[in-house]
A and B are shown apart, each in its own frame.
Chain A
């Protein structure tokens, strides 16, 4: 009898210890996984997709095409994080850029940081590349519009319950004359209930 109890305790201990070990499972990048309720990749992708869709269906783009006879060229400026979380706005910017480029409706130029690296390379080509392959300075495509924005949050907390309200605002500004040609807004509301008990 005593031996049986000891074996049972031993087996239970093994099961308990197995439950504590780290497990890793590959999941699809598009799968929606919410762990803490904080801003995550799903929010970033969703907001970028919806807002760019909204931006590209607005009047400014047809007006520009009528006037200029070509697709507008856009550059992404800064997206300020004014939220309660340390959000990496770079991934959000990348998501928006991908949505815009893949739409084929607009042309896109590199950001200020990327441009300086390309200019450096062009300078290097000036000295080292053959005449036939060298890309000369001064042929850059100037952007017509700049996309700027900010992420804001309002948090309401009561005990273990929390409501997180995210508001993403984007503006498309004409570089020529500072006109704001499009304003977009996307809201996400999350209700988070933290567990009362833990292991």
Chain B
């Protein structure tokens, strides 16, 4: 009877691990299939209760990529609520994680997820023509980032969030808030040793010229002497965001070591992000003979790796402690019955899986460009892909979002 129970447990545990791998495979199909098809596959899966936040996050980002903004808002608000509730500690989940594996903890989101959920929500509200809702999200993102900030550590600090905040404030005519947000984006890029994109340099000059011409504008003008002085004009403003590729997902790294007495095998499984050589593609904006390329504002492949590095020591400690517990359990079973000992050894061996869960359908990086024009149309595209024309009404403010994996362009105009 006991043996049967253990066998059932093994089957169940193997199922948990295979769901994680399947989910990562689904995320990778975004390179070959349209988001709508991927969403259908994802919605056909049955997530475990403890993985529900990850499920809502992925459903939300896919709905967003399709352009179904209301559904994206619903899914992401659910994910946000779930992740907030899961910030409290569960004793039973911790006990299961300490004895079986890390996947027994409910998925509560990594720092990048906790901030990116506001980014995608803000853009969903914006493209759904609810700029007030977008403003609420950027305020929430700022509180979330403040909560995650620890000294100069950049965990959960995304330049793209401040950039999107700046754009929304600028659209609402809140120039002072816009300048503060653009400045924060610039500071994060400097701390990350990344160059400030041209669009952000222009934004810093544009806003400081209005808000604080004597002091802050003079500083930025000294830093960016090649950019012309902003002037009041009736040109249309175009903010272009570009979502490139799919963020990397984790893989399992496992080790087999014999126990101190050489009588059993102990398996140690840890998550890691394998090295990838993803080439970054760029969005291209063409107006007449003028051509502009989007530039990197956030590398989410780096952010997710930082998130994992931060908790790696605790995962390692937990994995080692678990190995000791499992070793003791097998020894005790072995003392009772040799066969039971073998069954327990196999069960503990198979149950040792790394937690590979992540918000694996996010873009790999976010890019930005800005331009002002009097032309009624702009062409948007990327290298080796035919560009699409977007109509721009004279004197309007526009936010455009391009995605490297789909041909759809999202457009907010006011």
Contact = CB atoms under 8 A, between A and B. Distances in A.
A154 to B, nearest CB: 10
- Pick the most buried of A80, A197, A198: most chain B CB atoms within 10 A of its CB: A198
Given A82-B135, A197-B90, 6 more contacts: A83-B136, A157-B143, A160-B88, A196-B88, A198-B90, A199-B90
Contacts, number: 36
Nearest to B130: A86
A188 interface: no
B3 interface: no
Contact of B85 (A83, A196, A198): A198
A157 to B, nearest CB: 5
B147 A157 contact: yes
Interface in B125-178: 132-133, 135-136, 139-140, 143, 146-147
A84 B136 contact: yes
A85 interface: yes
Contact of B86 (A82, A153, A198): A198
Contacts of B146: 157
Nearest to B146: A157
B89 interface: yes
Contacts of A101: none
A21 B139 CA distance: 35
A80 B132 contact: yes
A27 B133 CA distance: 30
Nearest to B87: A194
Interface in A161-199: 194-199
B140 A84 contact: yes
A155 interface: yes
Interface in A47-101: 80-86
Nearest to B86: A198
27 contacts: A80-B132, A82-B135, A83-B136, A83-B139, A84-B136, A84-B140, A84-B143, A85-B136, A86-B133, A86-B136, A153-B139, A157-B143, A157-B146, A157-B147, A160-B87, A160-B88, A194-B87, A194-B88, A195-B88, A197-B88, A197-B89, A197-B90, A197-B91, A198-B85, A198-B86, A198-B90, A199-B90
Given A82-B135, A84-B136, A198-B90, A155 B143 contact: yes
Contacts of B143: 84, 155, 157
A84 B147 CA distance: 15
Contacts of B133: 86
A197 B143 CA distance: 22
A108 to B, nearest CB: 25
A195 B89 CA distance: 9
Given A157-B143, A157-B147, A81 B88 contact: no
Interface in A124-175: 153, 155, 157, 160
Q: Which 6 A-B pairs have the closest CB atoms?
A: A198-B88, A84-B139, A157-B147, A195-B88, A155-B143, A198-B90
Interface of B: 85-92, 132-133, 135-136, 139-140, 143, 146-147
Nearest to A82: B135
B90 A196 contact: no
Contacts of A84: 136, 139-140, 143
A193 to B, nearest CB: 11
A160 B146 CA distance: 13
B170 to A, nearest CB: 16
A195 B88 CA distance: 6
Nearest to B77: A86
Contacts of B147: 157
A148 to B, nearest CB: 15
Nearest to B92: A199
Contacts of A157: 143, 146-147
A81 B136 contact: yes
Contacts of A195: 88
Contacts of A197: 88-91
Nearest to B73: A86
A109 B88 CA distance: 49
A147 to B, nearest CB: 19
A196 B90 CA distance: 9
Contacts of A196: 88-89
A86 B136 CA distance: 6
A41 to B, nearest CB: 19
A81 B132 contact: yes
A195 B91 CA distance: 13
A198 B84 CA distance: 12
Nearest to A157: B147
Nearest to A81: B132
A104 to B, nearest CB: 33
A198 B83 CA distance: 13
A149 to B, nearest CB: 14
